[in-house]
């Protein structure tokens, strides 16, 4: 087994918007490609920030690499993610603002 912990820290005001990306775009695509979702948690990082992290399970490290490669090469998925970022001001804006 191989486990991956994916973590993000963001302003509290952006959590609902970020959850939309996870629930509508990232989660379905990960599952479609064979990732197994263990769980997702949110913790207060400080007064105005939240840490969100998810745990994913794979049969092996090689399985993880193959699945991630498939996801990164899925042009429809990449376009959905880019469209989400563009809808919220662009990737650079989101990463630098929230």
CA-CA-CA-CA torsion sign (77, 20, 45, 4): negative
pLDDT digits (tens, 9 = 90+) for 50-93: 999 999 999 999 999 999 999 999 999 999 999 999 999 888 88
Domain 2-93 has CATH 3.10.105.10: no
The predicted-structure confidence for 9-64, as pLDDT tens digits, reads as follows 999 999 999 999 999 999 999 999 999 999 999 998 788 899 999 999 999 999 99
d(CA 26, CA 78): 10
- Domain segments of the chain: what residues? 2-93
Tokens (6 digits) for 70: 């498939």
Q: How confident is the model at residue 2 (pLDDT cuts 50, 70, 90)?
A: very high
Q: pTM (2 decimals)?
A: 0.83
- Alpha helices in 33-89, H assignment, sequence order: 61-72, 75-87
> Do residues 55 and 5 lie in contact, with contact meaning Cβ atoms separated by under 8 Å?
yes
């Amino acid at each position: 087994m191989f486990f991956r912990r994916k973590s993000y820290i963001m302003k509290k005001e952006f959590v609902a918007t970020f959850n939309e990306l996870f629930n509508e775009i990232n989660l379905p695509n990960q599952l479609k490609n064979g990732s197994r979702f263990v769980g997702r948690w949110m913790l207060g990082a400080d007064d105005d920030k939240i840490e969100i992290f998810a745990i994913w399970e794979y049969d092996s490290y090689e399985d993880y690499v193959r699945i991630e490669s498939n996801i990164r090469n899925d042009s429809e998925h990449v376009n959905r993610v880019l469209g989400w970022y563009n809808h919220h001001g662009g990737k650079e804006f989101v990463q630098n603002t929230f």
